Chain A
C-alpha cells in the first residue's frame, strides 16, 4: 500500500466569488514573471443571470499525467504523493505538454527573441522542483517549497471562502461529499476535472 497520501485540488463552484485571491497569491509567493499564471480563475456564462459561476484552476497533478507521457525529453517526474513536477534545466520549451494537458496548466514565458517561448512553468503544488529542497536555486526556478516547510499551498491558504481546497484525497472527497449533501443535491459526480485527471485512480 502507498505510504503517502494522494494530494488533490478541489474548487467549489458554489463558493468561488471570482476574487482572484488564489491567483494573485500564487503570483506573489513564487515571484512569477508577467504573463505566467500558474492558477487562473475562469468565469463561465459571464453575465448570464443564474448561470454564471467561477472556478479556480491550475495543474491537477493527474494520475498517468498526459504531460509526462508526451514530453520528448522526459523531464517530468511524479512524486509518491502524486505531485507532478518537472526539471526546467532539461525542458526545451516545445509546448507538447500544453497540447496534451486537459487543463491548460503549462505556462510559457514569452521572453525569447521574436516572441519565442521559454521553458515551461506550472503549478508545483507549492512543492518546488528537483533542486535541493529550499535552496536558492530551487526557489529561483520553481518558487517556494511550502510543502517541505509543512505549510499549505498558498492559493488554498489564501482562499477567503474556502472554495479552493487542497489535501489528501480522502479528506478532500469527504468535504466535497458533505458540501454537496448539505445543498440537498446528493452526490452524482466527482469534483470537476477529477474524472479526467484521475480516472478511477
Chain B
C-alpha cells in the first residue's frame, strides 16, 4: 500500500508550487481588480477601512464642519464622496455582463486542458465491490450535500442578477433574487459547520483517536490544491456572508440613507469581489472532486466506498480509518 511515509522527499518547488502559482494568480487578479478594472478611488477605500477601525462607518473622511455650505448640502443629503465607490459599481456592471462569460469560458478551457493532460478521469480498479468502508457519517453526508445544494443555488441565483440581460427580469428572476437573500441566510450556519468539519489540518495538532472524531471531522489529509480550495472557501465564504448579511440587514431607509449608503456600496463591492473569486475555486472544487476522479458523488451520498478505491485513490483516508479500527 502506498503511503506518504514511503514517498521520496520532494523539492521545495514541487511541494509548494500549488501555493506559489495560486498566490501569483491571486496577486495578478487583485492588481487587475483594484487598479485596472475599477475606477473606485483605492486611496479612499483604504482610508475608509482605517476609519472603520475607529468605529466610524459613514465614509465621510473629512470632518463635516470643514466642508463648504454646498458640500454640506450634498453630503448631508446624499452621503459622502459619490464618485469614490459608486462608479465602480456602474462601470464594472456592464463589464461583468459582457466579460464574465469570457472569463468563465477561459476557466473551463483551463480545466479541460488539465483534464486532457492528466489523461482523463482517474478511476480505481475495483474487483471486490462488496468490500466497502464507511467514509462519511450521516451527519457529514447531510452537511456536505446541503452545502453543495445551497452553494449551487446561491451561484445560480446570484449570477441570475448579474446576467439579468439574459433572464430579461420579471417574476421568476425576481423570486430568484429574493430567494438568493433567504438561502444566503440559511447558508451561514452550513458554511460555519463545513469550515469546522473540513479543517483537516486539525490533525497536525490533535491525533484522530476516537470514532466520534471521525464522525465529525472529515477523514484524510489535504493535498496543497485541496487545502487552497478549503482556505478559499473559508475566506471568500466569510467575505460573502458578512457583506451579504449586511446588504440584507441594512435595509434602504430614506432617513438614514446618507449615513449608510457608502458602507453599503463598500459591502456590495466586497460581495462582487468575493463572488468573482470564489467562482474560480468553486469550478476548481467541482473539477477536483467531481470531474477528475470518478466516484465522489456516490461516496458522499451513500457514505461508503470500496476498500480498493481508497487504497488506490485516497490511501490517507484508509490509513486513518484503519487507525480507528485498530
Chain A positions near chain B (C-beta within 8 angstroms): 13, 37, 40, 42, 44-45, 53, 55, 57, 66, 69-75, 89-96, 98-100, 102-104, 106-108, 110, 112-117, 119, 189, 192-193, 196
Contacts and interface: CB of A to CB of B under 8 A. Distances in A.
A91 B73 CA distance: 31
B176 to A, nearest CB: 8
A99 B268 contact: yes
B307 interface: no
Contact of B161 (A66, A92, A102): A92
B178 A102 contact: no
A69 B170 contact: no
B258 interface: yes
B169 A90 contact: yes
Given A73-B167, A89-B170, A103-B78, A40 B254 contact: yes
B93 A69 contact: yes
A90 B78 contact: no
B178 A112 contact: yes
Nearest to B186: A114
A122 B105 CA distance: 38
Contact of B78 (A73, A102, A113, A115): A102
Given A40-B254, A114-B185, A100 B89 contact: yes
B89 A90 contact: no
A108 B163 CA distance: 21
A29 to B, nearest CB: 17
Nearest to A98: B252
Contacts of B163: 72
Nearest to A36: B254
A110 B78 CA distance: 21
Interface of B is mostly: helix
23 contacts: A13-B73, A44-B76, A45-B72, A70-B90, A72-B97, A72-B161, A89-B170, A92-B167, A92-B170, A92-B173, A94-B164, A95-B247, A98-B252, A99-B89, A99-B261, A107-B254, A110-B251, A112-B178, A113-B182, A117-B252, A192-B74, A192-B77, A193-B74
A92 B165 contact: no
Q: What interface size band does chain B fall in?
A: 35 or more
A112 B79 CA distance: 27
Nearest to A45: B72
Given A37-B254, A90-B170, 9 more contacts: A69-B94, A72-B163, A93-B178, A94-B161, A95-B247, A96-B93, A99-B89, A100-B86, A114-B185
Interface of A is mostly: loop
Nearest to A57: B77
B77 A42 contact: yes
A188 to B, nearest CB: 9
A117 B257 CA distance: 16
Interface string B226-255: 000000000000000000000110011011
B200 interface: no
Contact of B70 (A71, A91, A192): A192
Contacts of A73: 164-165, 167-170, 173
Nearest to A120: B252
